[in-house]
Structure 1
Amino acid sequence: MPNALLPNITQFLCNIDPFDKLPKELVREVASEIKITYLGKGDTIDPCGEQVGPVDDSQPHIEGESKKHKYLYVIRTGSMEQRQADGVLRARLGSEDLFGFTFLDDNVTSESGYHAVAMENTLLYLIPHATLERIFKTNPEYAEHFASQAQIRLKSALDVVWSNKEKGLFIKKVSDVASGVIAIVDASTSIKDVAHEMRIVKRSSTAVICDDGKLVGIITDRDMTKRVIAEGYDPSAPIKEVMTTAPLTVSPDDLVLHAASLMMQHNVRGLPVVSEGKVVGLLTTSHLVQNHRMQAIFLIEKIKYANSVRSLASFTTERQAIFEALVDGNVAPDIIGRVMSMIMDAYNRRLIQIAIDKLGEPPCKFSWIVAGSHARNEVHMLSDQDNALVLSDDATESDKVYFRHLSQYVANGLAACGYPLCPGKFMAATPKWCQPLSTWKHYYKKWVANPEYERLLNISVFLEIRCVYGEASYAEILRDELHVNIRANREFLGILTRDAINTQPPLGVFNKLVLEKTGENKKTLDIKKYAINLIIDLARIYGLAVECDSSNTEERFTRANERGMLSEDAYKNILNTYQYILMFRQHHQLEALKKGEEPDNHINPDSFGSFERGNLKDAFRIISSLQEAAKVRFAGRM
């Protein structure tokens, strides 16, 4: 390595994972032995480590050196695709990404590995396997960060308690990270003037295009190069002729983790931030610094490219490790639920895609909807499957047979991945819950008009729905149908309230906790039955009363507060209570996992002291108070 380049390369490596975990002197040692390779578009690196394309002539050549030495590859500039031996896409990589961990495993062959193809002119740093091997012999404590198995690398990063700083993207909202400096132009503006606005005025790599104040498109500097310069497009033409239409967007309150997942899923480098229909900022890949802990994103990416149920099931340990790290790091309980929901979303989508690959293209439009905690974005380690299929109204009986096969495959796949089958069979694999849109509309009308016990049980499951695959509009249509029917039968909320207050929080005589006996004859407190479910039921009632489109518990309370149906004191009390109860359960489940036990909802009071006991009593009193308020407000409608 030429001495002139060494400081620059060392600094570059020090800022990316996992080199940021090494002492600087070791990073400098690695940098000094790096080889530099320039790849043209289409050039390939094979699984045995042989690169195609010229190696920098300034590098010393060792006589007799094999072209098939193994390397760890670091992308300095450019982008690459990884493809399996059968051509299936494995991943897309950009600047600061690494690949070749599996190449460091002597058991990986060209048949079992993959190859990487340059998508554009790309500059690579090649780190010899021998260099890393030598360093880890004398410094074995750093070897796990470079292990060939991603699970080992991930676990090594998770075996820590995160500080507030290290929680990084898990606790940040888009508004905390996105730039407020953004080029906003009209659709009729010329390409030349847009380029000037981006380059000179705003110094932004991206511009958003609006028409009459409404976002209609987006353009990046890369788009300008590919669509304008390379194609010889007239720079005086309006920007709307070359823009990307209908761009993906995020809101200021979305998690950065969610935005990053969207970028990866759709292979985009920038997302406009939209609030109340107006563009207020821009989030780009440059905002997502590498040294943040984004294990959930890594797992979601691996799920996205898995090609079998067996492969997906192998990620269960990593999913548990992410949950443990989030709870150990005291990340907010609602964010833990959202992260775990994103992971469950990814499993659902990938299993549906694999099923379609096996069964053939779907015979009609459909929506795979999830319900319960999954729909509320409140997934935890005990969440089971609650889902359904909404088919287009032109679906035939033979179409239904196709979707029953698909739903059975997905249900069994989810079970293999650690998401149990629903005991009540509220799953798309049950014929009753695999129906055309018109049938689902009839269900909702019947349930609201005459909510007998069985129908009330059905609707309590499907009062929260969210589409994770297919026609998202079907879920929106059903939510609107629900609101219309409740408007026509306001007594329904009273019946829901009566059902919700049948179970009282566990406060008994002399203000002592009421306990119950489990199958093992131990006195325990069922935190789900006597606290969490009660809060969810109350949020559902208040949310439906104000026609809140969100199924999330906290967002329902927030909407009710904004509409004046829930006082500020009651709103703050119930939110704090919910967060505390969730945190309490998450830590209980964490302790069980650490002991190698099955997590549950049964809390042994002997495991906590007077501080926890006092807080629980306060929480139960707040729940009871809100139950009484709901009874007064809604019971008169019965």
Structure 2
Amino acid sequence: MTLSPDAILQFLSAIHPYDSMEQDVLRPLVETIEIRQVAKAEQIYPLSTPLDGMFIVYEGEIEVRDENDSLISLLGPRNSFGERGLLRDGISLTSACATRPSTVLLLPAKQFHQALRNSPAFRRFFDRNRTQRIGKPDLATTRVEELMTRSPLTCSPETDVQTAARQMRDAHVSSICITRGDSFQGIATIRDMSGKVVGDGLPFDTPILNVMRSDPISLPPSAIGSDVLHTMMERRIGHIPVTQAGRLVGIVTQTDLTRFQAVSTADMVSDIAHADAAEDMAKVTARIPQLLAQLVASGSRHEVITRLITDVADAATRRLLTLAEAELGAPPVPYLWLACGSQGRQEQTGTSDQDNCLFIDDAMTEAHAPYFEALAKYVCDGLNICGYVYCPGDMMASNPRWRQPMRVWRDYFNGWINTPNPEAQMLASVMFDLRPIGGASHLFDDLQNETLRKASANSIFVAHMVSNSLKHTPPLGLLRGFATIRSGENKNHIDLKLNGVVPVVDLARIYALQAQLTQANTAARLEAAIAVGALSRSGGQDLRDAYDLIAETRLEHQAAQVRAGVAPDNFLRPSDLSDFERSQVRDAFVVIKSMQSALGHGRGMLG
């Protein structure tokens, strides 16, 4: 077939993003395009070879397969392929073959990259990296290391309180950190000095060790500013040390936060921390949908939005635990309340049920059981009142099965690892997302490390977990479209949670299991897997970009529903997206499917 430049120009002018390009940019591009005739069953390019450029189907049909020879897409006229390889070192990440006689247009690699530089429309369409949106700095996007004072006032544990007080006076600060060598020991504030020294009449030569708060709450430099504000509001404190590997690296005080406007979640956490009943908290949590809409509108990234929303749930849980203990009395033995599911991963959105469990110290006896039954019922009922509805699968601490002493939990995990039947795989998947919320956190540390070590060493268990993680697949139709739900109230929709977010959550969990990573958050797991080599940088970045796009699309959909006065859900009608958005979302699903295929063929560690 012979095609003139004018015919190619006319053809491309009806395809996005070329229809958005200026003619003086598009026409020189068209003049470089090469026309290729491809016979039936002819391979256009094999896997892992240098690409000549990007291809556009003019007529015919092209099948694209991944590195495991799994069919990804069946492309027709107006569809492009090969661009991902050009964006990733110029090597083909797929193979392409004609299923019938076809005509394809080849845009040379040099001109492809020139177009990326010269045309914003072209760049937005093909360069899918999800980067942080630039906006006005606030606590939701500012890391603690940018807020903290890097050289806090310090003294040794043996320093007397009068000397410490003079140091604070001379430095014009309201706290002093106590260190021994590089090790952080504790903190003393003006309130401690007035209450314990002056109020109790202690001698001025009393060592600061006897006055300081040992093992106070601290945060790492990687935390975000809202973590500081929420902790201050909930714990009613004004100073938070910043530590890394047990070493003091800074401190954040209320003064450090004055230049920032407090995000609305801080008010919500504060209101919850001062609430006297679940009904009072429910008035606060009812504002979560509007909070989501505001955060999406502000351009915040999805992991920031879900983290802030989860902070509200965490605060509600801890306040309910406090109220329960006030009503029931002090616990007879130590316990730990943990969240799993989306709260455990700090990924809650505008619609969430509750998933939780209770670890109890092995000193528990039958006589203690009624106390913890009442505690669990109080908290689970309270969360339900707050809008975190009861788990449909009854995975809650109010269920005796998920309210047990540590010896029983060890038996649970050992049984799931040694006998990986379908139920064990499902339960293990849920429990690998556990995160402590309130109580004796040390109860979890040893069990988590022990379980990760045993699970990763059991190849049969890992293989079953991998198989289980591939059950949720992206909603891809072969003909460059989506496989939508076929019946029911959500007919012709796609489920952005079950078939979009969940497949990535499952993949990240496997990478974390294989590398014995302790992170529960999906984005954190992906980043950690890349950092330790459990996931290739190229494959990991592709998957992270795809996850970002799907997660942001989900939140934008929910925010639009909130603005329309509709309860947020996860079901999106593809026709509600623009051609540009549909293309991006589908490409993200293709990346996820490719990574699932790689994991299923035993290359999960390579991405």
Give the TM bin, normalised by the shorter chain: 0.7 to 0.9
Q: Name the counterpart of 2:84.
A: none
Alpha-carbon distance in structure 2 between the residues aligned to 1:469 and 1:493 = 30
Residues 185-196 of structure 1 correspond to what in structure 2 (within 5 A)? 185-191=155-161, 194-195=164-165
Task: Sort the Cα spacing of 1:437 and 1:184 in 2 relative to 1 into closer, same or farther, 3 A.
Answer: same
Cα distance change on mapping 1:349 and 1:241 into 2, 3 Å: closer
Measure the CA separation in 1 of the matches of 2:168 and 2:508: 45
Counterpart in 2 of 1:498?
467
Q: Against the structure 1 CA distance between its residues 212 and 181, is the aligned structure 2 distance closer, same or farther, given a 3 Å change threshold?
A: closer
CA–CA distance in structure 1, aligned partners of residues 423 and 257 of structure 2? 48
CA-CA distance at 1:247 after TM superposition: 2.4
For residue 425 of structure 2, what is the aligned residue in structure 1?
456
Change (3 A) 1:278 1:356: closer
Listed as ranges, the matches of 1:56-455 within 5 Å are: 168-191=138-161, 194-195=164-165, 197-200=167-170, 204-224=173-193, 227=196, 238-289=207-258, 292-455=261-424
Which residue pairs with 1:475 in the alignment? 444
Specify the code of the residue in structure 2 equivalent to 1:349: R
Partner-residue secondary structure (3-state), 1:388: strand
Distance in 1 (alpha carbons) for counterparts of 2:154 and 2:490: 66
Instruction: Tell me the alpha carbon deviations over residues 219-270 of structure 1, each in whole angstroms, 9 at most, x when there is no partner.
Output: 3345445555677766566443433322221111112111122223333221
Q: CA deviation at 1:611?
A: 1.3
Residue pairs, 1:537-556, within 5 angstroms: 537-556=506-525
Letter in 1 for 2:460: E
Structure 1 residues 249 and 358, CA gap change in structure 2 (3 angstroms): closer
> 1:77-117: CA deviations, max 9, x gaps?
xxxxxxxxxxxxxxxxxxxxxxxxxxxxxxxxxxxxxxxxx
In 2, are the aligned partners of 1:206 and 1:220 still within 8 Å (CA)? Answer: yes
State the shift of 1:290 in Å: 6.8
SS in structure 2 at match of 1:378: coil
Change (3 A) 1:192 1:305: closer
Q: Does residue 484 of structure 1 match 2:460?
A: no
Q: Aligned to 2:435, which of 456, 466, 478?
A: 466
Contact 1:303 1:347 in 2 (8 A): yes
Question: Which residue is equivalent to 2:486?
Answer: 517
1:229/1:306 Cα in 2 relative to 1: closer, same or farther (>3 Å)?
closer
- For 2:509 and 2:251, the matched residues in 1 are separated by 34
Q: How far apart are residue 435 of structure 1 and its match? A: 1.3
Q: 1-side partners of 2:331 and 2:160: how far apart?
A: 42
Secondary structure at the residue paired with 1:475? helix
C-alpha RMSD of the superposition: 2.4
Does the residue aligned with 1:459 lie in a helix, a strand or coil?
Answer: helix
> Residue in 2 aligned with 1:593?
562
SS in 1 for 2:371: helix
Matches of 2:569 and 2:539 in 1, distance apart? 29
How far, CA to CA, are the matches of 1:229 and 1:458 in structure 2? 54
CA contact (8 A) 2:153 2:177 kept: yes
Question: In 1, distance between residues paired with 2:214 and 2:147?
Answer: 25
Distance 2:490 2:174 in 1: 64
Structure 2 counterpart of 1:216, which letter? Q
1:502-559: per-residue Cα shift (whole Å, max 9, x none)? 3332223232222122412630111112221110001101111111112111111122
Q: Is 2:229–2:266's contact at 8 Å kept on the other side of the alignment?
A: yes
* C-alpha distance 403-225 of structure 1, shift in aligned 2 (>3 A): closer
Distance verdict in 2 for CA 1:278–1:518, change over 3 Å: farther
Using the alignment, how far apart are the partners of 1:175 and 1:406 within structure 2? 38
Change (3 A) 1:412 1:192: closer
Q: Residue 219 of structure 1 aligns to which amino acid in structure 2? A: A
When residues 286 and 635 of structure 1 are mapped into structure 2, their CA distance, relative to the original with a 3 A threshold, is closer
Q: 2:587 aligns with which of 618, 622, 638?
A: 618
Q: Distance in 1 between matches of 2:269 and 2:425?
A: 35
For structure 2, which runs of at least 5 residues remain unmatched after alignment? 1-132
Q: CA 1:634 to 1:472, structure 2 compared with 1: closer, same or farther past 3 Å?
A: farther
Given that 1:370 and 1:465 are in contact with CA atoms closer than 8 Å, whether structure 2 keeps it comes out as yes
Greater relative contact order (Cα 8 A, min sep 6): structure 1 or 2?
2
Task: Flag the 1:321–1:389 CA change in 2: closer, same or farther, 3 A.
Answer: same
Letter of the 2:482 counterpart: L
| TM-superposed deviation, 1:417 | 1.4
Residue 227 and residue 405 in structure 1: after superposition, are their counterparts in 2 closer, same or farther (change >3 A)? closer
Tell me, in whole angstroms, the C-alpha distance in 2 between the residues paired with 1:205 and 1:309.
Answer: 35
Q: Give, as a single letter, the amino acid of the residue that structure 2 aligns with 1:524.
A: H
* Superposed displacement of residue 432, structure 1: 1.1
Of the three residues 526, 539, 559, the one matched with 2:495 is: 526
Q: Percent identity?
A: 30
Deviation of 1:606 (Å): 1.2
- Give TM-score scaled by structure 1 length: 0.70
Report the CA distance between 1:347 and its aligned residue: 1.4
Q: Which residue of 2 aligns with 1:83?
A: none
Q: 1:296 to 1:633 in 2, by over 3 A?
A: same
Closer/same/farther in 2, CA of residues 532 and 311 from structure 1, 3 Å limit: same
The reply to whether residue 582 of structure 1 matches residue 551 of structure 2 is yes
Q: Distance in 2 between matches of 1:462 and 1:541?
A: 13
C-alpha distance in structure 2 between counterparts of 1:357 and 1:209, whole Å: 33
Find the counterpart in structure 2 of residue 107 from structure 1: none
1:631 aligns with 2:596: no
1:457–1:168 Cα change, 3 Å: same
Say if 1:518 and 1:524, in contact at 8 Å, map to a contact too: no
Q: CA deviation at 1:318?
A: 2.1
- What is the count of residue pairs matched by the alignment? 473
Please give the alpha-carbon distance, in whole angstroms, between the structure 2 residues aligned to 1:323 and 1:305. Answer: 23
Aligned equivalents of 1:205 and 1:279: distance in 2? 17
CA contact (8 A) 2:286 2:387 kept: no
Residue aligning to 2:534: 565
CA distance in 2, matches of 1:354, 1:241: 30
SS of alignment partner, residue 158 of structure 2: coil
- Partner amino acid for 2:298? G
